[in-house]
């Protein structure tokens, strides 16, 4: 009787020690670890997320050790106790495995959050948030799939049959949704390869030009000059030829062909055109060039070449044509036409 009472008291003490360790871990986490890592945002984000998992791991690990002690003391021929002594350690083991899986999952979550917040500020580069979110979800699925596999193995369940069933189900889903999967895989490669980024102006093989406003997992959205949104499946984009007008930078070259009635003083024409360009603040000054490309008895043709940001393309061309028309009229030079080459 005294021995039983002693064992019960010790068991109760061990249980309270486990609870105390959990509270102590929580206190150390909040008032020591988080303060030490306050200046390191990555560590702070990870520590905040894995706290519950670590406490859970400590608790169930303690319960597992406690059960080993209790089960040796409470030896019984009772059939229900025997079943409990077999199934309870497996259940506790499952909670320990899930705690570890939770910790790894939260480490990935913390890294992704840190990456999306910090990397753009450090590198001034555009970050593919949707890709990182996809990576986060895939990692979580893999981690918990491994955890479930380990737990099923502990319960003596045939893993091979489960993997086979998962393979057959995956094949059926892939066959039924092959177009969707094709677009998703293509979207994944677009995010990795980066043939274009959000904000870039691209020209498709069909001749459509527009600014990329969204790169999704299944489709890409382009804003056309007419202010319409063109939606294209990613699988179609990766198979076609694309000209990225915004890479390596947003500067494009404009050529205007100016036809006038034959005029002897070609240097005067060049000076006039260069002067017009200098007055336009959106034209890059050291890129301005004028070339005489045609001379006949009826007309002379010049090419006015300059560079601008592609976002100013239509505005600059409109203004340049108007300024050329006004200036030539003022100089009494007969203008035949101005058009973009």
Cα 154 to its chain centre, rounded Å, is 37
Q: Which CATH number applies to 193-244: 3.30.70.890, 2.40.30.10, 3.10.620.30, 2.30.30.60? A: 2.30.30.60
d(CA 89, CA 74): 15
Query: Residue 88 is encoded by which pair of tokens?
Result: 């309870």
d(CA 2, CA 20): 27
The predicted pLDDT at position 103 comes to 93
Q: Do domains 193-244 and 251-340 have the same CATH topology?
A: no
Name the pTM for this structure: 0.56
Q: Measure Cα distances from 123 to 42, 117, 189, 212, 283 in Å.
A: 16, 11, 22, 21, 28
The string over 311-332, giving b where at least 16 C-beta atoms fall within 10 Å of a residue's C-beta and e elsewhere, is: ebbeebbebbbebbeebbeeee
Beta bridge partners of 215: 220
The predicted pLDDT at position 72 comes to 66
Beta-carbon count within 10 A of 51 CB: 18
Q: Is the peptide bond between 262 and the residue preceding it cis, with omega within 30 degrees of 0?
A: no
Report which DSSP code applies to 32. I
* 251-340: CATH topology: Alpha-Beta Plaits (3.30.70)
Per-residue model confidence as pLDDT tens for the chain (341 residues): 566 666 677 778 888 888 999 999 999 988 888 888 888 888 888 888 999 999 999 999 988 888 877 766 655 555 666 676 778 888 889 999 999 999 999 999 888 888 888 766 654 445 556 667 777 888 888 898 889 888 888 887 766 656 666 666 566 555 555 666 676 677 777 777 778 888 888 888 888 888 888 877 778 888 887 788 888 888 888 888 888 877 777 788 889 999 988 766 788 888 899 999 998 889 988 889 999 888 888 888 999 999 988 778 888 899 999 999 888 888 888 888 888 88
pLDDT digits (tens, 9 = 90+) for 199-229: 888 888 888 888 888 877 778 888 887 788 8
Beta bridge partners of 231: 221
* E-state strands within the chain: 201-203, 209-215, 219-223, 229-233, 243-244, 251-261, 284-295, 299-309, 335-340
pLDDT digits (tens, 9 = 90+) for 22-81: 999 999 988 888 888 888 888 888 888 999 999 999 999 988 888 877 766 655 555 666
Report which DSSP code applies to 156. T
Residue 311's nearest CA partner among 223, 207, 214 is 223
d(CA 264, CA 166): 82
Q: Are 262 and 281 in contact (CB under 8 A)?
A: no
d(CA 327, CA 333): 9
Residue 109's nearest CA partner among 42, 173, 163 is 42
Beta bridge partners of 221: 214, 231
Beta-carbon count within 10 A of 75 CB: 10
d(CA 325, CA 259): 11
Name the residue ranges covered by the structural domains of the chain: 2-170, 193-244, 251-340
Q: Are 122 and 64 in contact (CB under 8 A)?
A: no
Query: Residue 189 is encoded by which pair of tokens?
Result: 């490669």
Report which DSSP code applies to 240. S
Query: Residue 83 is encoded by which pair of tokens?
Result: 């079943």
């Amino acid at each position: 009787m005294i021995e039983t009472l002693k064992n019960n008291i010790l068991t109760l003490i061990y249980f309270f020690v486990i609870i105390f360790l959990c509270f102590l871990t929580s206190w150390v986490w909040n008032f020591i670890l988080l303060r030490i890592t306050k200046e390191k945002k990555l560590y702070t984000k990870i520590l905040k997320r894995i706290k519950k998992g670590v406490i859970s791991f400590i608790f169930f690990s303690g319960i597992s050790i406690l059960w080993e002690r209790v089960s040796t003391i409470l030896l019984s021929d009772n059939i229900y106790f025997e079943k409990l002594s077999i199934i309870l350690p497996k259940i506790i083991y499952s909670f320990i495995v899930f705690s570890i899986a939770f910790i790894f999952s939260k480490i990935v979550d913390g890294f992704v959050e840190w990456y999306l917040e910090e990397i753009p500020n450090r590198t001034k580069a555009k970050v593919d948030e949707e890709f990182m979110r996809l990576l986060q979800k895939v990692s979580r699925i893999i981690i918990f799939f491994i955890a479930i596999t380990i737990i099923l193995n502990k319960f003596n369940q045939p893993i091979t049959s489960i993997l086979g069933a998962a393979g057959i189900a995956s094949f059926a889903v892939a066959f039924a949704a092959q177009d969707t999967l094709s677009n998703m895989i293509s979207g994944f490669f677009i995010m990795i390869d980066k043939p274009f980024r959000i904000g870039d102006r691209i020209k498709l093989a069909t001749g459509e030009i527009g600014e990329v406003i969204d790169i999704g997992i299944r489709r890409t959205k382009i804003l056309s000059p007419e202010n319409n949104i063109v939606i294209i499946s990613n699988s179609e984009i990766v198979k076609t030829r694309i000209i990225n007008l915004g890479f390596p930078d947003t500067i494009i070259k404009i050529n205007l062909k100016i036809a006038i009635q034959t005029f002897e003083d070609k240097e005067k024409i060049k000076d006039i055109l260069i002067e017009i360009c200098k007055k336009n603040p959106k034209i890059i000054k050291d890129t301005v060039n004028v070339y005489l490309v045609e001379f006949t008895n009826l007309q002379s043709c010049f090419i006015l070449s300059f560079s601008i940001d592609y976002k100013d393309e239509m505005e600059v061309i409109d203004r340049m044509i108007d300024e050329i028309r006004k200036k030539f009229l003022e100089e009494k030079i007969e203008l035949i036409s101005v058009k973009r080459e």
